[in-house]
Structure 1
């Protein structure tokens, strides 16, 4: 969502692609920094994002690990395939391709959607030319549901606990990315006003949800 930055600083700024895109900034090898955080680095202690090294005994419903294949959010007409997201050599999370506006990314080194832990799902809100997959994400509210189809044939159905926006200089990284004892998911995109001087949106929108 931000304008391109020709010289991002590793661990300080998100890796950016062309257009007004989601901006990504994971500054460590574990997901505990400013994912989609623009030029603001969220300084917190590293925490595991989920998966086999879950920090707590699992509670509630959960599914075995399996690759997500499609995200369905009927309320906002989302029916999008997944792509894996990984860290580059500078420890920053690469965004989904900017030329496909109907694509969501999953942090593949973290928990899979439905698995115990915190699954991170992120997408663009817009590009230079059009709205993108998470353009309507702000419409989700407590009690709404979405489904992640998985490669094992099982559907992971999530219910929204809350949808909240955060100023980028006050982003609650630990709350968003910390490992959890139940199967949870975060849907994340940019929000707020587009600051042309800064080349970035002013806020992030995070949808918190758990498996049902």
Structure 2
């Protein structure tokens, strides 16, 4: 579960359609990449070009996000795998900030088959293909699907979405993109 920035009168971020086709992309026979921090994420379909910074978890185990005063950054969960290693690498970003839409505002517009490229500190680029985009109520966050074991190099992108609850200052859902390394 992540908590993201607030806007006074937010434009509602896009939500993935419940009936969107799901695709599985069998991982091609790619050798896993060695560990290397991601430094940039590119998502052409939603015009995202963002620097990536490492993040961790707070004392309650809640995933941290990049600083709210830098809403154009994505965060990489540094205690997990890096993009291209076997397992699920996790990138997180704000949906909005006091100044307006943030880096992952349009995550809910992604569709199966679209690509995500992650540039790593070793200058290698890991390309992932979107399998699915889902909205989950924060009380039903699928921890195992996001952080659990995997037999291929996967990528999970996470932001907030759904209805904004003014009483709590949070969105009620998380939008999660599930992708598999394909190049």
Please report the TM-score for the alignment, with normalisation by the length of structure 2.
0.81
The RMSD of aligned alpha carbons is 2.1
Q: Show the 5 A alignment for 1:29-178.
A: 60-61=29-30, 62-178=32-148
**What is aligned with 2:170?**
200
Report the Cα distance in structure 1 between the residues aligned to 2:37 and 2:116, rounded to whole angstroms: 17
* Greater RCO, CA 8 A, separation 6+: 2
Tell me, yes or no, if the aligned pair for 1:60 and 1:182 is still in contact at 8 Å: no
Report the Cα distance in structure 1 between the residues aligned to 2:101 and 2:29, rounded to whole angstroms: 36
Counting matched residue pairs gives: 162
SS in 2 for 1:198: coil
Deviation at 1:129, TM superposition (A): 1.9
Tell me, yes or no, if the aligned pair for 2:90 and 2:146 is still in contact at 8 Å: no
Report the Cα distance in structure 2 between the residues aligned to 1:20 and 1:101, rounded to whole angstroms: 11
Report the Cα distance in structure 1 between the residues aligned to 2:131 and 2:29, rounded to whole angstroms: 15
Which segments of 5 or more consecutive residues in structure 1 lack a partner in the other structure? 1-12, 22-58
After the TM superposition, which parts of structure 1 deviate over 6 Å for at least 4 consecutive aligned residues? none
- Select the structure that is richer in strand: 2
SS in 1 for 2:45: helix
Q: 1:157 to 1:192 in 2, by over 3 A?
A: same
Task: Indicate whether 1:20 and 2:15 are aligned.
Answer: no
Report the Cα distance in structure 1 between the residues aligned to 2:63 and 2:101, rounded to whole angstroms: 22
Deviates more, 1:171-180 or 1:96-105: 171-180
SS in 2 for 1:163: strand
